[in-house]
Structure formats: structure tokens, C-alpha cells
Amino acid sequence: MPRPVAVVAFAQTEHSGEDRGMAEIEILAPVITEIKERTGQKQFGFTCSGSCDYLAGAPFAFVSALDAIGAWPPISESHVEMDAAWALYEAWVKLQHGDIDTALVYGFGKSSQGNLRAVLTQQLDPYHLAPLGIDAVSLAALQARAYMERSGAKEDDLRAVAARSREAGHGNPFALHLPAPEGDDYDVAPLRPYDVAPVTDGAAAIVLAAGDRARELCERPAWITGIDHRTEPHAPGVRDLSRSDSARVAGEKAGATGIEVAELHAQYTHEELILREALGLGEDTVVNPSGGPLSANPMMAAGLIRIGEAAARVHDGSASRVLGHASSGPCLQQNLVCVLSGENHG
């Protein structure tokens, strides 16, 4: 029986679609300040972050971000070179050990200062994929076609996802407020520009707490009732791109049933459709009421934000069983599912 751990606080930046002239640490620092104030905590039992050096073009770029959290006297700290949802998983595991009661998790990324598509090429297999220069959108478009040809979904179905996400994003003060989808030109066919998440700068932070500490720090903690992550082979040619087996298994292991609200880390419209199918989300599940990554996609924070946005529905009492999802790697290679509940645990 895992130790009861909850999301007790969530903060994020007002994300930006363009360079506002702030360094990564300047984007991050106010979020850390805010979440410390909200929880009344200056110190945490563990700190874990997610970021990507290639976004800044500098090795160990995450180290300088430690200045934002105050790393003296020395703290217990770790980092993942991927979305901070995986940093949250590491922190959850650390909390399971039982020797700490709180953890701070944060992620940040400033995608606007380079060519994001080319940056993401560097995460690919260096023997067969990266030397071809294939970019993230071209890879996603291969998956979109495979999905449409298998499922019978049409380009209009993708457009509907974009329209709903952008509309929802208008109700989210932290998201970019993008116009309704229009135009027939492709980006990389079959994807049009609105099928692709916008380049976004931003940061987010979450505080996890265990047992009674959670109840002290939050009126309605969002208890993590299940969390799991799975991966598939890196090579796209050995997978059935039209499906996401790793999301399906992660969802099953995390106990993703009876979900009222799901926040999906779908960075392309077709990914939402693949994920809905893999996670068995029906019409009665509200998907991405925040607008999702199609309305704001700060790299390395967007997955963590999905967990935070889902938890926020529990915090405000508007839902009691929610799901946060994060993905990483080409064509939804890796998937993390976190099921949260407002029911009293522990």
C-alpha cells in the first residue's frame, strides 16, 4: 500500500508565445516565490526539477536555476532532463521512502530563444534519426497519418480538437489566447499550423506532501491514487504509431477509471484522439478544460502543468476524480499517467 501523497499546491507563469527578454531563471523565480508563500514553506524535504539544456544551449543549465529556490544551506535535490512530470514521479518515489513529508517539483523552459524543432531533433537516436535532420513536427505528422488511416478520422476531426482547445484556452488566464483555427495550408501534411502546439516560454511548480502534512497545507488535497509511466521503443518504425500502448498500460496501472476531468499532454491534435482511445476516456470525461498544450506548451513544464491543472479541479471542489498525463519522446514514445482524487486517503 503506497504512502498517501497529495498535490497540495500548484503555480504557473502567465505563459508567453514570444521572448519577453527574461532569462529562464527570471521566468522561474516568481513561481517558486508564489508557491512558497501559498504553502507557507521555506524548506522542502526534497526538490526535483525538469528542464532541457538544449533549450538554453548550455550544459548544466538547470544548475543555475537552483539559485531561484535558495540552495543554501545544502538541500536534497535532483533533476531530470525531461518534462517535470517525471521529476514529480521521482519526488513521489522519494516520499514513499517515508523519511520526508514534503517535496517541491518544478519545470521550466524557454523555447523561444532557439529553433525548437531543430532542438528536439537532438533528442533522437543519433545513428538513424538525428543525422537525417527530421524534426518533431514531421515525426508527429507521420503518426497523424497512421492514426487517421487506421481509425478513419479526418482532418476536420483534428481541427475540431484545435478549435475546442483554443476556445477553452481563452478561459485560462495563464494560457496564450490564440484565434480560432483557420486556413487550409499545411505545416507538415497532414498537420496544419493549428494542429501543432505553439512555441511557449513558461514555468510551473507543484508541492507534494504526505499524509497529515498534506491536510495541514491544503484544505482539499488532491491525493495521488495511482501513478505510472511506460515507454515504447525509440525507433518509430517498430511501433504501431496509430496507437499508444504505453499510455494504455500506464493508464491501467494507475487505475484510470471514472475520470471526470483529464488533462492530456497532447502537443498535436491527433495525439489527443490517440490518448483518449488509449486511456478509455469517453464523452463524459472533460478533456483539457485549461486549453491544454495546444493553448500553451512551455517545454519541460507542460506535462507537470497537466497534473497541476487536474489537481486544481480537486482543490477548488469542482471535480473529485481527475487525471494528469505527460508525454516525452517522439510520437508519444513515453507516457506518464497520474490519477488524483479528492477522497480522503490515509
Q: Which residues bind another protein (CB under 8 A)?
A: 54, 57-59, 115, 117-118, 121, 126-129, 131-135, 138-146, 149, 185-186, 188-191, 233, 235-238, 241
Nearer to another protein, 217 or 241 (CB): 241
Q: How far is the CB of 327 from another protein (least distance, A)?
A: 19
How far apart CA 300 and CA 189 sit, in angstroms, is 26
Nearer to another protein, 124 or 176 (CB): 124
Coil vs helix vs strand at 201: strand
Q: How far is the CB of 89 from another protein (least distance, A)?
A: 22
Sign of the CA dihedral with 161 first, then 167, 172, and 178 last:
positive
- The residues facing 105 across adjacent strands are 48, 206
How far apart CA 153 and CA 313 sit, in angstroms, is 30
CB 208 within 8 A of CB 88: yes
How far apart CA 262 and CA 278 sit, in angstroms, is 13
Nearer to another protein, 101 or 201 (CB): 201
Q: How far is the CB of 236 from another protein (least distance, A)?
A: 6
Q: How far is the CB of 146 from another protein (least distance, A)?
A: 4
Q: How far is the CB of 268 from another protein (least distance, A)?
A: 11
Nearer to another protein, 215 or 234 (CB): 234
Q: For residue 110, give the C-alpha cell.
A: 524557454
How far apart CA 272 and CA 243 sit, in angstroms, is 11
Say how many C-beta atoms besides its own lie within 10 A of residue 149's C-beta: 11
Q: How far is the CB of 87 from another protein (least distance, A)?
A: 24
Nearer to another protein, 231 or 318 (CB): 231
Nearer to another protein, 124 or 278 (CB): 124
How far apart CA 112 and CA 90 sit, in angstroms, is 28
